Chain A
Amino acid sequence: MQYAVLGGFCVAAMAPLLYRWFGARTAGVMALLPAAIAAWLMAQWPTIAGGGTLWREWAWVPGLDITLTFMIDGLAWLFAMLITVIGTLVLIYSGEYLHGHRDLPRFLVVITAFMMSMLGLVLADNLVALFVFWELTSITSYLLIGFNHTDPVARKSAQQGLFVTVGGGLALLAGFVMLALAGESWSLAELTERGEQLKAHALYAPLLVCVLLGAFTKSAQFPFHFWLPNAMAAPTPVSAYLHSATMVKAGIYLLARLHPALGGTEAWVVTLSLVGALTMASGAFLAIQHTNIKKLLAYSTVMALGTLTMLLGIGTETALAAFVVFLLGHSLYKGALFMVAGILDHETGTKEVTAMGGLRHAMPRTALVTVVAALSLAGLPPLVGFIGKESMLESLLAAEHHRAVILPMAFFAAFLTLAVAAIVAIRPFFGGWRETPRTPHEPPGGMLAGPALLAALSLLFGLAPGLLDSLVGVTVAGIGAPQAEVHLALWHGLNLPLVLSLASLVLGALVFRRWDRLRSWLARLEPLMARGPEAGYEASMRGLTRVAEWQTRFLQNGYIRNYLVMTLLVLLGLVGHALLMRQTPNLTFALDLYLHEALVAGLMVAGAVAACVMRSRLAAVAAVGVMGYSIALTFVLFSAPDLAITQLLVETLTVILLVLVLFRLPRFATLSTPIERLRDLVVAGLSGGLITLLMLAVLSGDRLPRISDYMVANSQPLGHGHNIVNVILVDFRALDTLGEMFVLALAAIGVYAMLRFHAEEYEARNASRIWRGDNG
């Protein structure tokens, strides 16, 4: 299984090559990959249906307890199946939709990579692996929303989607760390068995907040819903796949997966059901204000995501069963409807439903598919959407918390959704014929096959819901109701949910009839809408830019003296704090000093003082050199030849470098005010004092075990060397040295680039005046 996913990334990378071989048929060829995975999953169905779980162990970073183990239970199977089947159809569809597009290979690379990331996300058992795949879906989604990168709207929407989902991803990371700490495991399978321990843990509240933030941003829950409709700037296959059927359900998947571990508490139930209900209602309400078919569908996706969250919040057996049916039904009809939206856009050249009409004559087959899928969206019999909606209403009637709030909202959402379905199915295809920018006719078979199959499945599962019993049963078992007996049926008898459905049918029809007038009335709410959550996002982005500008002016101003002061102050604050908190400074020390040692120390101090007061740079450099050589002498006196040699050489080379630099500096001048110099004096004095205290603490402390004893004892037996310094550098602490090598190399490249570009600029300025030939 891991080979399939990781290999899938390789296939994604090979898309440009495949495009060279297969040309326009590449998308179809690449669709074989998800199709094969789907077939494999189908072959595993007997095991899954028997309540079994497939494990594929794979160590990744064993030292950190991070694995790439895949686990396929009912929930994972359902999601993996949706991802691969709809993925196959979307790939075939996009081959036609983007036919002849010059960036088709790039599109295939990203969408296949997304598919594999999503697959990894739902199969991963390890929190870290899940998080990695989670972020990969955010990044690929960003690339896909911004696919038309010449369009500023697409770029802005892509950035918005990325910021919202990745921001939530950061919260999720924190949540996962806390989850692993509280549950003492990184494995989801183990965590779901430790629900009691997690819920009783002190970290439960903060970890729940973080995990929910991650899931809510990803799944476009209120107030983070605004990025999803904007993501419709992506090509339509992307909207059909990422932003309705799969990626936005990642958050829902996570909530479902963690339901046994975290669910059932009051915080969980109240937050999820209220946020979900609010999202559901606001999604449905916002949908009917739009005439762009993709926006209509996007807001109805927001509504569906809210419904799913709400059902997880309620968490009873019926609610969980409704959750699974609704999830499946939504993926089927919404995938189909988005693909139809793409067909309409492709064939008519417009996305406005008000600009289309009477298309059933030109595209009868498309019309049929649309009507079937829209019936499912509306929640009308005999489609799977009806079963989903009925069981949703049934579980709401039995809900324990906030029924009085949730039920009206669900009813409100239900009739508005019905109106949306009617708008999408009736407006473009029925009524009088309208001229559109392009002359419409039936789309190519590859484009219609996907929606047709999905619509047919909606109908099949609606007519024979018994087919779903065992799938819903094992999925619900994975979410936390192991003993659930699920029997889905189209006809439940004349009960309250059916009455509610009938009422919503009437109201929905009314809304559809009055839609145009309703819209113009709602347009008056525009100023209020402009202050919604998206305005908050815009404001925070502006704030971010302002902070960046401020800190660039204040901290990153390019003056090395300011960087130095900042660095020293931070060092003083952190080290000084730690030192004074943990140690009482011991200022008594025995001073037995030989004359030559005192002389060297005096030389050092004199060099330092001289360097500060000299009025000539060359003299200052020499004074610094005197100080450096005195330090080298100290090393010699205390028998550290390696350090002494290094110090001497570094001093020599420093003098050389400084002299070279001095050539290029302007005349010596006093630029700093007395106050600034006083500040520098204070900072320098404090730094010196801190180092002195540090030295005293090190020398007086017996509480710190001496690390050098180990080095001395083991240098020869383990490191095969008598020179301890060298053995430490190249063996015991070789990783540090390796890091330092890279730092040194980067510094050298930085110096080179800085001087070189400066020189080139200079040369470019003089090029017109002097021709010097090739002198590099």
Chain B
Amino acid sequence: MVRSGTLILNVAARLLLPLQLMFSLFLLLRGHDEPGGGVIAGLVAAGAFALYLFAYGRRALEAMLKVSPRDLIGVGLLLGVASTLPAWWHGQPFLTAQWWTIPLIEVEASTPLVFDIGVYLVVLGSVLTAIVALVETDDDA
């Protein structure tokens, strides 16, 4: 069984999780200009959840996540496909990037960003699905 039960790991996991998740979001959002991006950010987040999983077990992780990792994959794929559609609206070839500036807060939004979020969710969901599935069979054994 992989639940550690050691105090140090438990406390560390609880403290590190929010930090790691924030870091992963930071990597995701800045990825277009600085090192980072959806894949890396997804892996960081998966690592964070894996740590939590080892410290507290599968049920605790599922209770915290609320959604199944498999649903994350689905949502990610949907976002990835959805980001291809706005170009269609303008009559441009499939997947042509679209850029908008959101008026009041002067933030740039774009289809590559939506796409990258899709990548993030697929990577996170896939890795977590595999890890949780492995832990699950351990539980049963």
Contacts and interface: CB of A to CB of B under 8 A. Distances in A.
A726 B32 contact: yes
B47 A751 contact: no
A747 B126 CA distance: 8
Given A642-B40, A645-B40, A721-B33, A741 B47 contact: no
A660 B2 contact: yes
A730 interface: yes
A737 B136 CA distance: 30
Contacts of B116: 726, 729-730
Given A653-B43, A661-B134, A741-B119, A731 B112 contact: yes
B140 A729 contact: no
A645 B136 contact: no
B35 A645 contact: yes
A487 interface: no
Given A649-B44, A657-B134, A748 B99 contact: no
B70 A752 contact: yes
B112 A730 contact: yes
- If over half of A's interface residues share one DSSP class (helix, strand or loop), that class is named, otherwise mixed; here it is helix
Interface in B89-132: 94-95, 97, 99, 108, 110, 112-113, 115-116, 118-119, 122-123, 125-127, 129-131
B32 A737 contact: no
Contacts of A775: 139
B80 A741 contact: yes
B81 interface: yes
Chain B interface: which size bin? 35 or more
A762 B140 contact: yes
A749 B70 contact: yes
A755 B136 contact: yes
B50 interface: yes
B137 A748 contact: no
B10 interface: no
A759 B136 contact: yes
A684 interface: no
Contacts of B85: none
A80 B91 CA distance: 36
A642 B80 contact: no
A446 interface: no
Interface string A689-723: 00000000000000000000000000000011111
B85 to A, nearest CB: 12
A712 to B, nearest CB: 14
A42 interface: no
A641 B33 CA distance: 12
B77 interface: yes
Interface in B59-91: 70, 73-74, 76-77, 80-81, 84
Contacts of A722: 32-34
Nearest to B39: A646
A683 B137 CA distance: 34
Nearest to B68: A752
Interface string A631-656: 00000000001100110011011001
Contacts of B129: 748-749, 751-752
B57 interface: no
Contact of A756 (B97, B113, B133, B139): B133
A554 interface: no
Contact of B131 (A657, A721, A756, A776): A657
Contacts of A735: 94-95
A519 interface: no
The 9 tightest CB contacts between A and B, nearest first, are A748-B126, A649-B43, A721-B32, A641-B35, A660-B134, A730-B112, A726-B37, A722-B33, A755-B133
5 contacts: A660-B135, A723-B31, A730-B116, A744-B126, A748-B125
Interface of B: 2, 31-40, 43-44, 46-47, 50, 70, 73-74, 76-77, 80-81, 84, 94-95, 97, 99, 108, 110, 112-113, 115-116, 118-119, 122-123, 125-127, 129-131, 133-141
Interface of A: 641-642, 645-646, 649-650, 652-653, 656-657, 660-661, 663-664, 719-723, 725-727, 729-731, 734-735, 737-738, 741-742, 744-745, 747-749, 751-752, 755-756, 758-759, 762-763, 775-776
Given A649-B43, A729-B119, A759-B140, 6 more contacts: A720-B32, A722-B33, A723-B33, A729-B37, A731-B97, A752-B130
